[in-house]
Amino acid sequence: MRGWDAVLPQVVTGAGDSRDATHAQLCGMVRGMEEAAEATRRRLKQMEKALERQRVIVNEVRASTSRFEDTFTKTNSDLQYIQQQLEYVVVSLEKERGTVADHTEQLRLFAMESNRRDGRNADFSDDGTSMLLWLATWLYRPLVHFAKGCYTLLSPLLNTLESLSLFNTDVLVRRSESGSRLRHSETNEDLLKRLQKGTLDPTSLLKKN
């Protein structure tokens, strides 16, 4: 019994130590899980803030796009109205004064008609300037400059194609001259070969000349 009395405190002490170690490990694991949960919570908050900023940016872009679409739609409707008015005025003036093929003359007639109408309706524009005339001029000038720019860019290519064209008289003359020179050189080579072979009769050439 004395031996058991000596061993029993050691077993109880070992069990207590293992219990304390398991408790410490559990506390460490719980503390680690709490830290991981806190880090995950902070990360989620950062993601929420980033998503909120992105949502604000998307809403601003959507609002700007909607305003641009509204402006574009209104501009298209205004341009269609201007085109209809321009066609109507030009057609009516052509009926009175004959067909006008020059676009500058058409625009001038349109400006005259607009000014005449603005003189009748003073309440349409206070400063006497027609909004339709301004928009028509704004639409006409870019088209003219664009056409001139395209012609300026394509003129070297057009000139090259014209110089290489089969219908160009200069090219035909040069080809005919080169062909005649080639035929003359071939004739001289044939005469030289015949003289070398002794088959050429000089008297026949004198008779032909």
- For 135, counting Cβ atoms within 10 Å of its Cβ (0-12 exposed, 13-18 middle, 19+ buried), the class is middle
Tell me the CB-side half-sphere exposure of residue 125, using CA atoms within 13 A.
Answer: 15
Average pLDDT of span 25-29: 84
Higher pLDDT, 124 or 79: 79
Does the model's pTM come out above 0.85?
no
Measured CA to CA, the distance from residue 60 to residue 67 in angstroms comes to 11
Residues 128-158: tens digit of each pLDDT: 456 666 666 666 767 777 777 777 877 777 7
CB 163 within 8 A of CB 174: no
Query: What does the pLDDT read at residue 8?
Result: 45
141: helix, strand or coil: helix
Residues 49-86: tens digit of each pLDDT: 999 988 888 888 888 777 777 777 787 777 777 777 77
Q: Max Cα separation, the chain?
A: 163
Measured CA to CA, the distance from residue 180 to residue 139 in angstroms comes to 57
Tell me the CB-side half-sphere exposure of residue 190, using CA atoms within 13 A.
Answer: 6
What's the pLDDT band for 40 if we cut at 50, 70, 90? very high
Query: What does the pLDDT read at residue 99?
Result: 58
